[in-house]
Amino acid sequence: MAKFRVNDFISLRIIKNETVIYVRGEKFIQCSYILLRKNLDEIKELESIESVDEMEGQLDKHMEASGGENVGIPPETEFWAHCSNLQVWAENQYDTRMLHRNLAFPLLKRLTEAGDPVARRVFKEEIAQRFESGFEPVVKFLIIEGYMEYFSSDELDVIGENSSSLKNLDLSDREFEPFPEIITNLRHLEKLILNHSWLITLPTSMSRLHSLQTLSLGYNRFLVIPESIIHIPNLTALLLYHNQLRTIPDNIENMRHIQHLSLHDNQIQTIPDSFINLRDLTFLNLDNNQFKEFPEILTKLTWLETIDINRNQIDVLPDSIGNLSRIRVLELSGNNIANLPEAIGGLTSLEYLWLEDNQIQTLPEAIYHLSSLKFIALRNNPLKNKNEIKERLLNCGVEFKV
């Protein structure tokens, strides 16, 4: 049985043709794959590449085959490759850039717990430096696996300030309890995605994210829009689809820079009058909520360009809808609308109109005079004179689905 001793704390053995790492004589992990055999200077020579993690997409992951199957490397050759990697890693003060994150950080943590003085000295420093590098797969790993919990609030504040290259972060499909404090310290972050995260609230410190422009919180369990979101100062896009929202708070008017608001698949019934103060809002998605009438307040937001209010319970459109002179896309499918007002002729910028699955029998004359209209969807309506409608739309150069 082949054995190799890296130092007083790390050793390796071949057991049943597999390489196993031991820490202080106790089995730690079975090696899963060989990723790279480079020393630190060689890594630095690779332009724009700072770590093994950043190279993984370009490398032959010899032992990453599903089920750990043998892919042609003799076990002993593989063993000595692992020994070489770990020997170089130890000689370079456990520099985590030299091993894949899935091995480097758990092994460094175990060495720290085992009393390795070098590991104890560099453990937090390595975590902080790799986080501050801003490489998203490593950042996600460190958050998800709980490594940022080793730092105090003051330390997290410094790390967040130093993470200037981290602009985008997607932590979807993870349940966090408690919410990772490091996230609210990422003051350079511009886009944060937390879909499918079982969230019901957010910490008040979210308002510290002064650079955040896009926040996606789809498929969570919010009953209300968290107050802290309202106070994120430069947010331009908020996605809160597939939650359990029943109302929109009046103070949503404080979201002065919001341009894109997706609230589809909730239980919202009304829009507050304070919406009138959302002067930058151009895109609004209210699909599949519980509106029984078209919200009158929306007809005062004359700067809107897209409204999606499909799959609600609307039966009448107000005459004031004609005020929406900048609207380009209007989606009204899946409602109970029977008639379109002549005032729809005021939608002089309208290009796409969706009216499928309603109760419409005829189209107002104004439809045929919308010079910008490119497409209209009318399927699953009890249309009278369907052939005449098709002919007139064709003559207007409008594509249709009837």
Residue 216 DSSP SS3 = strand
Q: Which CATH number do you get for residue 316?
A: 3.80.10.10
| Out of 53-62, 121-130, 222-231, 345-354, least confident range | 53-62
Within 328-380, strands assigned E span 329-331, 352-354, 375-377
pLDDT at position 29: 86
Q: What percent of the chain has pLDDT over 90?
A: 86
Q: Do the domain assignments include residue 311?
A: yes
Within 161-298, strands assigned E span 168-170, 191-193, 214-216, 237-239, 260-262, 283-285
Q: Which residues contact 222 (CB under 8 A, 6 or more apart)?
A: 199, 200, 201, 240, 243, 244, 245
Proportion of the chain in helix, strand, coil states, percent, rounded to 5: 35, 15, 50
Q: Do the domain assignments include residue 50?
A: yes
Phi, psi of 19 (to 5 degrees): -85, 130
Mean of the pLDDT values across residues 5-12? 97
Residue 61: pLDDT over 60: no
Same domain assignment for residues 97 and 198: no
Q: Do the domain assignments include residue 160?
A: no
Same domain assignment for residues 94 and 176: no
Q: Do the domain assignments include residue 151?
A: no
Residue 24: pLDDT over 60: yes
Considering only residues 46 and 380, tell me which one the structure prediction assigns the higher pLDDT: 380
Cα distances (Å, whole numbers) of residue 370 to 299, 363, 377: 18, 12, 15
Helix axes 101-113, 136-144, angle to 10 degrees: 40
The Cα–Cα gap between 165 and 135 comes to: 8
Mean of the pLDDT values across residues 310-330? 98
Contacts for 241-246: CB closer than 8 Å, 24+ residues apart: 241/265, 241/266, 241/285, 242/218, 242/266, 243/217, 243/218, 243/219
Q: Do the domain assignments include residue 139?
A: no
Q: What is the mean pLDDT of the chain?
A: 93
- For 39, the token pair is 């020393």
Tens-place pLDDT, residues 188-212: 999 999 999 999 999 999 999 999 9
Point out which residues pair with 22 in neighbouring strands: 11, 27
Tens-place pLDDT, residues 235-260: 999 999 999 999 999 999 999 999 99
Q: Do the domain assignments include residue 136?
A: no
Give one DSSP letter per residue of 19-77, joined into a string: EEEEETTEEEEE---------HHHHHHSTT--SHHHHGGGS--TT-SGGG---S--HHH
Residue 150: pLDDT over 90: yes
pLDDT at position 325: 97
Mean of the pLDDT values across residues 299-327? 98
Cα distances (Å, whole numbers) of residue 190 to 9, 144, 184, 187: 42, 20, 12, 8
Mean of the pLDDT values across residues 49-65? 59
Same domain assignment for residues 206 and 102: no
Identify which of 329, 379, 369 has the alpha carbon closest to the alpha carbon of residue 345.
369
Mean of the pLDDT values across residues 371-379? 98
Look at the alpha carbons of 390, 393, 397, 400 in this order and tell me if their dihedral is positive or negative.
negative
Number of structural domains (the chain) is 2
pLDDT at position 195: 98
pTM: predicted TM-score of the whole model, two decimal places:
0.91
DSSP state of 93: T
Same domain assignment for residues 118 and 247: no
Same domain assignment for residues 221 and 362: yes
DSSP H helices, 236-299, are none
- pLDDT band of residue 12 (cuts 50, 70, 90) is very high
Residue 340: pLDDT over 80: yes
Mean of the pLDDT values across residues 317-328? 98
Same domain assignment for residues 122 and 18: yes
Residue 361: pLDDT over 70: yes
Of 67, 101, 128, the residue that ends a domain is 128
Give the number of C-alpha atoms closer than 13 A to the C-alpha of residue 309, restricted to the C-beta side.
Answer: 25
- pLDDT band of residue 60 (cuts 50, 70, 90) is very low
Q: Do the domain assignments include residue 157?
A: no
pLDDT at position 66: 35
pLDDT at position 47: 46
Same domain assignment for residues 50 and 118: yes
In whole angstroms, what separates CA 167 from the centre of its chain?
A: 12
Q: Which domain holds residue 118?
A: 3-128
Give the number of C-alpha atoms closer than 13 A to the C-alpha of residue 242, restricted to the C-beta side.
Answer: 10
Point out which residues pair with 376 in neighbouring strands: 353, 400
Query: Do you find a cis peptide bond into 178, omega within 30 degrees of 0?
Result: yes
Same domain assignment for residues 241 and 358: yes
pLDDT at position 34: 58
Same domain assignment for residues 274 and 396: yes
Of 80, 102, 128, the residue that ends a domain is 128
CB 372 within 8 A of CB 349: yes
Residue 106: pLDDT over 70: yes
pLDDT at position 184: 98
Same domain assignment for residues 49 and 112: yes
Of 128, 151, 176, the residue that ends a domain is 128
Same domain assignment for residues 340 and 191: yes
Same domain assignment for residues 344 and 272: yes
Q: Do the domain assignments include residue 269?
A: yes
